Amino acid sequence: MLTLENLKTFCAAHDIPAFRAKQIMQAVFQEGAESFSDISTLSAPLKKLLEEKAGAGAPELQISTVKPTAQEVSSDNSTVKILFELPDGATIEGVLMRFNDGRRTVCISSEVGCPLKCKFCASGTLRFKRSLTWEEMADQVMYFSRYLKRQKEELNHVVYMGIGEPFRNYTNLMKSLQTIMDPQYIGLGARKITVSTAGIADKIKQFADEPFQVNLALSLHAPTQELREKIMPIALRFKLPELMEAVDYYIKTTKRRISFEYVMLKGVNDSAECAHQLAKLIKGMLCHVNLIPYNATDIEEMKGSEKQTIREFQDILNEAGIPATTRVSLGQDIAAACGQLANKAQKPVTSAIPSYKNAPLLKKKLLKK
């Protein structure tokens, strides 16, 4: 991965003025250059030298460890799903969502395949291969950041909600977070980042003790141990009382709100009784419930709840004094929504990046701030 230090050492070794190191960092991470040849302020011989050394595999000159090999763009251009190839040939997916309110959110993967096998999630049908390195996680974010910069847009949210369980890979997760928050790279604010876990209780506590304000979301999906373990095998390892104790610890320690994710599955966890049980379980906690309409997968047994059912479920929670909203999902038409990531993107990546109709709106908003 490129670092200022590495580039300075490179410059010194090749008799290149040191200021070039900063210029290269700036061009790649702040201006969206995809390669050294893209950097117009560098001389032709320097571009050639950098390209040659990087092409020969010099690790300190690699702009990215993830290579986009296929892409899908939703019909309204709001959502772009990229299939990335990793150095060992494994593939993962990342998604960019451009919301009407100006949010530019990137959803990234943390593992190649997912071993957790939640009964409703397409990523669980992929064979688990390995966890990602911190560079592979951070580079997905940087890729989309560059992509947006070239369209004069700014990435402003990152969610670790793609393929995999981020808390199974805690050390690399932390390093990737530190990297994307580092002003040398994209300097994203901690509050603009959310890590989602299926419920690794001990890691929730460890995360609470971290000295930053990255948000936490917990995929709860059921209000009782009995139901939860039917749809999420991880619940057998971390039982509901232990999980809720970890959540309590998180809230007490950080004094920050936790988000509970709850995917609405028809006839499984969407009854009024479930809503009342959920309200009872989390009443009084500093929290927010995010109801997720189920996104279609190839998993035959799972169907999404009716809109009306979701509304009634939300009403029960709201009436019990629990803040609950229903998530707006983008990218269903290209299987890029929550739980649909399964490495199926087919089209080659083109250099013609589609722009989005609401981009000017975002620019205005950013200027006002």
**Residues known to be catalytic:** 93, 338
| x/- map, 82-111, ligand SAH, by CB under 6 A | ------------------------------
Least spacing, CB of residue 108 vs ligand SAH, in Å:
10
Which DSSP string do the residues of 285-314 spell out, in sequence order? SSEEEEEEEPPP-S-TT--BPPHHHHHHHH
Q: Which of 73, 165, 203, 362 binds ligand SAH (CB under 6 A)?
A: 165
Q: Which residues contact 94 (CB under 8 A, 6 or more apart)?
A: 66, 81, 82, 84, 106, 107, 108, 109, 140, 143, 144, 162
CA neighbor of 27 nearest in space, from 15, 36, 18:
36
Quick one: angle between helices 272-282 and 307-319, nearest 10?
A: 30
Q: Which of 91, 131, 269, 295 binds ligand SAH (CB under 6 A)?
A: 295
Least spacing, CB of residue 300 vs ligand SAH, in Å:
13
- Contact assessment for residue 186 and residue 140, using Cβ atoms and an 8 Å cutoff: no
Residue 1 is a binding residue for ligand SAH (CB under 6 A): no
Closest residue to bound ligand SAH by CB: 339
Least spacing, CB of residue 336 vs ligand SAH, in Å:
11
Of the candidate spans 116-124, 169-177, 273-281, 345-353, the one that interacts with ligand SAH by CB under 6 A turns out to be: 116-124
Residue 292 is a binding residue for ligand SAH (CB under 6 A): yes
Residue 263 is a binding residue for ligand SAH (CB under 6 A): yes
Q: How many CB atoms lie within 10 A of CB 113?
A: 21
Number of continuous H segments (helices) and E segments (strands) in the chain: 12, 13
Residue 118 is a binding residue for ligand SAH (CB under 6 A): yes
Q: Which residue has the tokens 């499984």?
A: 268
Where along the sequence are the contacts to ligand SAH (CB under 6 A)? 118, 120-121, 161, 165, 196-198, 219, 261, 263, 292, 294-295, 297, 338-340
